[in-house]
Amino acid sequence: MTDLVPGRHTPLPPTWLCRIDAHPWPCGEAKLALLAAYADDRPGLLTLLSTLKEEAEDHLTQLDSGRSVDATDRFLTWTRQPGR
């Protein structure tokens, strides 16, 4: 699924850090690339990010000794359109 992410700033599972800048993914550059690539398809962006969020939560939970990880803010909250 991560091969559907546009640009160079792509996630590196299972840590879900950016391959380029090592920031938690989606990093700032990834967010800009995603918003540009899905400018006319907000539902498609949300579908992609929801799927990646689930995958990331599974990986990060495994890395954190089974303690549940919620990545909603990291993956979805930033996609809200201004004023909504």
Taking only the tens place, the pLDDT of each residue in 33-51 is 999 999 999 999 999 999 9
| Mean of pLDDT over the chain | 93
* pTM assigned to the model: 0.89
44 closest CA partner among 6, 82, 83, 84:
6
Q: How many CA atoms lie within 13 A of 80 on its CB side?
A: 8
Q: What is the per-residue pLDDT for 83?
A: 64
Per the CB < 8 A criterion, the answer to whether 14 and 59 are in contact is yes
Q: How would you classify residue 22: left for phi > 0, otherwise alpha for psi between -120 and 50, otherwise beta?
A: left
24 closest CA partner among 33, 32, 15:
15
